[in-house]
Every structure is written in structure tokens, then in C-alpha cells.
Amino acid sequence: MLQLFPGLLRTQTKNESPALFHEETLTHYKSEVLARGFKEIVSDLRRQHYDTWDWYTLAKRADAFMIRQQETDELLAVEYLKERWKQVGVVPYQHQLQTARRVVFEMQGQAILADEVGLGKTIEAGLILKEYLLRGLVKKVLILAPASLLWQWYHELYEKFGINAGIQRSEWDWTYSDILIASLDTAKREPHASTIGSIPYDLLIIDEAHKLKNSSTVSYRFVNAIQKKYCLMLTATPVQNDLKELYNLIGLIKPGQLGSYRSFKERFIQDKRTPKNPHELKGLLSQIMIRNRRDEGTIQFTKRIVHPIVISMTPKEQELYNRVTQFVRARSQQTGMQNILPLITLQREVCSTFLATALTLEKMMLNMEFQQMEQVADLLKELADVKQNSKCDALERLVGELHDKIIIFTEYKASQEYIRYRLERAGYKTLAFDGTLSRGKKQWIRHMFQKEAQILVSTESGGEGLNFQFCNQIVNFDLPWNPMRLEQRIGRVHRLGQARDVHIFNLITKDTIEEHIMYLLHQKINMFETIIGELDTILLHLNLGKSFESEIMEIFLAHDEQEKIREKLDRFGERFIKGQDEVRTSAWELF
């Protein structure tokens, strides 16, 4: 027979009602429980195995009872972290404190944190974790996140909350690390998944939780099988393309909150993206989900100030650009749109540096016939003969006018090396970020950039997972064609903790496809002035059937006339704006 509170509470007899037993024991022994100390009691309780809902309910009530006895008006972590926050310059926002209070005192540690991008979901989760650690309610913790964010989680937890977490590197870490940060993609594979499934976790935290939207995936089934006492799921986009995704996410945390899917669909779904009875559904969601928005007075973000810098190429550079573009058009007619990716890369590189263009052409030669190889070899020779890069000339002039820290973004490793060569030759000291660096090396370079260097030259992958709020100047040496990639660049700097206006300098080569891209992103869809928190949702909503980049490339390849390209981009931009309006007036009204 199960014995609760060994040595203190009596054993339930065979014929007693569990519900009556709960009330009697909790009332009769309240003074003894207070005297003995809740930490030991709950620890004893947690070591038992429950086989009925009544016993599970008793365990949850014991946790809630423990919290109620511990000064529930205030978060213990706020006072505890006061000095640390003062040293590292952290000022918690009211919406973050209120979120932590609701999760701990009202939602019993089961919540989806769905704040818009940049409002500090990681800080909220860290604060909740620290609160539970201080109260002795949590010891074994698993944090699952995309691989690119593991180091960011480690840094945030240590710097802001004094939490020493481990980053998973071996199969032994699952068992022996009390607080472990790991990649979801690694964790769901064997033998890791079986090990994790055998461990009872006090707290499970899942970042980018919208990736679990499909209940038929391995990731969903894996997370659903994890034993977890408390669970936090972080996502800025709880609904991306279908209200069923929202149902699936909530099912991971609080099964039954929305009933069966059939009843949920009948009661709340008008179509895939439009809810019925939104006020009633919003009430149910508020019990499990918290979403703070920028337009509710949460945070006043600094401005984004855009500086387009249009660069005219030399006649020789323009001629080579035109030749590469002709090659891309001819090659697309030969190979078809199914092999468009290398051609997209080539067309983008020719607006960056000829060095990057040449390296891609060399790779493409391996799959060409002899006659085509001769043509490419001739083009490579001309590319090698060009000694000037007008865009780098403009970059040198710009850097000379800026006297604070600068991050220069490029998409290509070859361009990164050329930019550093030019700036170092001009007398500037630079640091490089790219995806090949280890986590420790990235953190070290970030530290060096913050404390000593003025210029950081970063590729796309190099900037993932680390934030640079101490810098407020970004130079886009070449423009990504996908607005999501552009937002990710700017988001490294323009985010929570940025105290100054952010200046974005875009280097744009005149009479190239880059000019059209700038028109689409800046003038048509107003990409720069507004942080689009639901950007990935909008892109999914458009249901393009192909990548954003491929959509643009098809427009570019189909038309020679500049006016016709501009007209097609206008239509594409209008689709984007319409999709944005539809997203914000359908499922998002729930939040």
C-alpha cells in the first residue's frame, strides 16, 4: 500500500476514498507538515509511483500548497538576483515579471510563452527556472532548443541568473547533468531518446516550440513521451498555418484542455486559419498561454534608421555583371527551374564580390560539357583580371565615417575574406564570425568585439545564436533575398536591451537585381522600419510552393525589361501585404 509522508502520515486503507483521504490528511497534519519542512515532504512524495489520477492530483496539490506557504506575493528570484542584474545591466520588464508570477502561482508551471519576437521569452523562462530552483521544487531540468541556440541559452542562464547548465556532448550527460541544454534533433534520435524517456524531469523547456506543430512527427511523439512535472514551451508563432497546430502544442502541455480534436474542430474552427467562438477559445487559451505584444505598452523599442547607399559599378564591372547574368539566363533554360539553386547563388554573388562568383563557377564547371567549360573558363579569366571592387571602395569610405562598433554582414565566406583583406590593408583591425567556429571561439570573438575591436565581419551562420546589443550599426554588404534572413541579421542588434537607435546601411549596386530586391523589401513591404514578429507565419501563409528566393529568381529570369520586373515585384509585394493583413485578422485575434 502506498505510504505518503513516511513516518508522518498514515497509510490509506483499502476502502477509503482517495478524495476524502486527501482532505483529511492535508488538514489534519498541516501543522506537522509545516514543522517538518516542505522540501523534504515533497521530495518523499515525488519518489513514489502513482497509478491513479487521484494520486497525481494529490502530488500537484502538495506542490501548490508548498508554494502558497512561501511568500507568494513576490518572486523570490527577483530579490535574490538584484545584485547580479545590477552588475550585468539587466533591468527586468514588468511584462516579464508578471509572466513569471502567472506561470508559478496560477498556471502551476505548465505554460506556452508566446511573446512576440524580441520581448524576452528566454528571460521569462530563466526567471521561472530560477524561482523553482530557489523554492526547491526543481532539480532535474532539460532544455531543448535548435543547435544554433544552445550557446545562447548557456550564456543567458549563467550571466543573468547564475545558473550553471551543461551543454550536451555525450550520452552520459542525460543522466548525470542536473540542468542540461541539448539540441532537439540530437535528443530525439536513439540511443538518446530511450535514455531521456526513462528520466523523470522536474522541468522541461522547449525553445522554438512551433516546430512541434505536427503531431505525426518523431519530434512531437518524442516530446510527448518525456516524463515532466513542469513544462514551458517558447514560440513567437503558436499558429503558423492551421489552428490544429495550436491544438497539438497545447496537447503536449495540458492534454484535454481543449477537449478531443473532433469537438475542438466543431466548436472552434471555421476554417484552417479562422476560429469560431474566438472569445470563448481565447478564455481557454489564457489558462495555458501567455502572449505579450509590442503594441500593449510592454517595451518601447528604439528606432531603425535605414541608409541606402547606391553604388555605380565601373564599366568593366558592369560588363562582367551582364555577362554573368546572361550565363545564368542561358543555363536556366538548359537545366530548367528544378536546378535553380546554384544559379540563384551565382546571381547573388555577382552583386557581392567577383571572388565569390568565380569560386561558384569553378564548382559548376565539374558538371558541364567541354564547350560550356571553355566559355566559363574565359569568363573566369576576365573575373580574375578585375582588380577593383566598387562596393568595397564604398565600404572603406563608409567605415571611415563611422566611429563606433560595426557589424558587416555578407552571405559568402569568400566575400568575408575579401572584405577583411581590404579593411585590414586600409588600417582597420577586424574580427571574423562564421559557421565553422566552435561555440567557445564564437563566444570569445563576441567578447573581443565588445571589449576591443571596432569591426566584426560575419556570415549568416556566424551570427546565429549570439546577440550584440552593445553595437548599433549594421552594414549589409550584400542583401539576402529572403526577408526572414534579413530580419535575423538585424535582430542580432535590434532587440531587448538595445538602448540606442539602430542604423542599417545597405550597399546596393545600381542596375543590378540587388536594386530590385531593395525596392521590394524597403519600399514595397516596409521591411526595415517595422519588426515583423509574425514574418515566418506570413511566408507560410502565402503558400508559395517554392522558396522566397526562387519566386524572385523566376520573375527576374522571365523578363529582360526593368519596368516589367518592377511590375511583377509590385504584384508579389502586394501578395505579401495581403497575407500579412490576413494573418493578423484571423487566428491572431486569439492572442
Q: What's the pLDDT at 7?
A: 34
311-342 pLDDT, tens digit per residue, is: 999 999 998 888 888 888 887 777 765 666 77
Name the helix (H) or strand (E) containing 515.
helix 513-518
Nearest to 144 by CA among 96, 85, 184, 100: 184
Q: What's the pLDDT at 484?
A: 75
Q: What's the pLDDT at 379?
A: 80
Residues 6+ apart with CB under 8 A from 63: 42, 108, 137, 229
Give me the tens of pLDDT residue by residue for the chain, a chain 591 residues long: 333 333 333 333 434 444 444 444 444 444 444 444 555 555 555 554 445 666 666 666 666 655 555 555 689 999 999 999 988 888 888 899 999 999 999 998 999 998 877 788 999 999 999 999 999 999 999 999 988 788 889 988 999 999 999 999 999 999 999 999 999 999 999 999 999 999 999 999 999 888 888 888 999 999 999 999 999 999 877 776 678 888 888 888 888 778 888 888 888 887 766 777 878 888 888 888 998 877 656 677 788 898 989 999 999 999 888 888 888 888 777 776 566 677 888 888 888 888 888 888 888 777 777 667 777 788 888 888 887 899 999 999 999 999 899 999 998 999 999 999 999 999 999 999 887 887 778 888 888 999 888 999 998 765 556 788 899 999 999 988 877 778 878 888 887 778 899 999 999 999 888 888 888 877 777 666 554 455 656 666 666 656 777 778 888 777 777 788 888 888 888 877 777 676 666 555 555
Residues β-bridged to residue 17: none
Record the pTM: 0.69
Report cis status (omega within 30 of 0) of the bond before 191: yes
Question: Can you give 419-448 as a three-state secondary structure string?
Answer: HHHHHHHCCCCEEEECCCCCHHHHHHHHHH
Residues β-bridged to residue 431: 456
Q: What's the pLDDT at 80?
A: 93
Q: What's the pLDDT at 19?
A: 42
Please report how the helices 315-335 and 370-385 are oriented relative to each other, as an axis angle in degrees rounded to 10.
160
Taking residue 489's Cβ as centre, other Cβ atoms within 10 Å add up to 20
Q: What's the pLDDT at 32?
A: 47
Q: What's the pLDDT at 279?
A: 82
Instruction: Tally the residues of the chain.
Output: 591
8 A C-beta contact, residue 77 and residue 134: yes
- Please tell me the distance from the alpha carbon of residue 196 to that of residue 447, in angstroms, as a whole number: 34
Give the angle subtended at the CA of 273 by the CAs of 269 and 279, to the nearest 5°.
55
Q: What's the pLDDT at 26?
A: 46
8 A C-beta contact, residue 137 and residue 63: yes
Q: What's the pLDDT at 129?
A: 97
Taking residue 18's Cβ as centre, other Cβ atoms within 10 Å add up to 13
Taking residue 574's Cβ as centre, other Cβ atoms within 10 Å add up to 12
